[in-house]
Amino acid sequence: MAIKRQGRVHRAVAIGAVGAATLSGLLVSAVPAGAQTITVAGIGRIDVPADIPVPVDIPGVDVGPAVGAPAPVVPPPAFPPLPFALPPLLLPPPPPPFETPGQRAVDAALSKIGSPYSYGATGPDAFDCSGLVQWSYEQAGVDVPRTSYEQENAGRPVSLDDLQPGDVITFYGGSHSGIYVGDGNVVHAADYGQPVDIAPLDSMPVTSAHRY
């Protein structure tokens, strides 16, 4: 009797193994895009269509995640707050706007408004017309001739329609000079008894304009 029972057990195990192997062959031959993997003890891993429910309480069968299923969402680790505060990000200040030598000469000349006129004076306390032009450009690092006649023949000639702050304007055939400050005005040292001041460009006969 024991032998018979043992034979029945062997036959049951064999039949089970054949059935599982047959199931594995059928399922592996055509694995759908959405599938789940089960592991059968003594057989191995088998892909089963995702729409076929597989009981999870079968002894020796381990049901894995479905193939193509989204990965489980794992929350990021929670780090403790830093025991100190990070310093703010300090950016370098923007560079100053570019200033032409002509504009620097204008700024220098305007700083001398009210200074007295003195023939042959080149500053820094008194000026004649060409002396003011020369001194102002010296503050901008540019060498300009001494007299108004020389200033008329130096630099680059420019049209009165293309004037920029800093252009040297000569008047009265070259006997007087001033610096264009914009908006149709010049700064100049006019004559005895008149301090350095701003005057309209068209208040005197213009001879030429030059740019340094």
Residues 6+ apart with CB under 8 A from 204: 171, 172, 176
Q: Which residue in the list 106, 112, 166, 176 is annotated as catalytic? A: 176
Catalytic residue check, 176: yes
Q: Which residue in the list 126, 129, 144, 169 is annotated as catalytic? A: 129
DSSP 8-state assignment for residue 201 = G
Q: Which residues pair with 49 in a beta bridge?
A: 35
Q: Which residues pair with 13 in a beta bridge?
A: none
Catalytic residue check, 210: no
β-strands 44-49, 185-188 pairing: unpaired
Instruction: Determine the Cα angle at 113 with ends 111 and 114, to 5°.
Output: 135
Integer CA distances (angstroms), 154 to 60, 62, 167, 197, 206, in order: 104, 98, 12, 24, 16
Catalytic residue check, 10: no
Instruction: Give me 193's structure tokens.
Output: 């008894």
Q: Which residue in the list 20, 38, 155, 188 is annotated as catalytic? A: 188
Residues 6+ apart with CB under 8 A from 166: 100, 101, 102, 103, 104, 105, 106, 140, 179, 180, 211, 212
Q: Residue 211: what are its φ and ψ, rounded to 5°?
A: -115, 135
Q: Which residues are catalytic?
A: 129, 176, 188
